[in-house]
């Protein structure tokens, strides 16, 4: 069993949220809803990737 210090799968959620913010900055001037949507898509992708990363550690 991995400890919290060894498990880096939670970083996927934060990392993908930051990617979503970065992508959303391109859309913020045209439409604010696209900015929020890109953040939510980034968080969703992070939530999908996190279990895959934690599964490969075992």
Length reported for the chain: 58
- Give domain status of residue 47, yes or no: yes
Question: What is the Cα–Cα distance from 40 to 50, expressed in whole angstroms?
Answer: 15
Q: What is the pLDDT of residues 2-54, one digit of tens each?
A: 565 567 777 888 899 999 999 999 988 999 999 999 999 999 999 999 888 87
Query: Does 2 reside within a domain?
Result: no
Instruction: Please count the structural domains in the chain.
Output: 1
The pair of three-digit structure tokens given for residue 48, joined into one six-digit string: 């999908």
pTM, two decimal places: 0.78
- The pLDDT value recorded for residue 54 is 79
- 5 in any annotated domain: no
3 occurs within a structural domain:
no
Would the CA dihedral through 8, 10, 14, 19 be positive or negative?
positive
Dist CA 20 CA 11 (whole Å): 14
Residue 4 is assigned to a structural domain of this protein: no
Report the distance separating Cα 17 and Cα 5, nearest Å: 21
């Amino acid at each position: 069993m991995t400890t919290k210090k060894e498990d880096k799968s939670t970083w996927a959620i934060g990392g993908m949220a930051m990617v979503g913010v970065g992508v959303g900055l391109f859309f913020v001037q045209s439409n604010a809803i696209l900015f929020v949507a890109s953040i939510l898509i980034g968080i969703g992708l992070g939530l999908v990737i996190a279990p895959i990363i934690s599964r490969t550690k075992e």
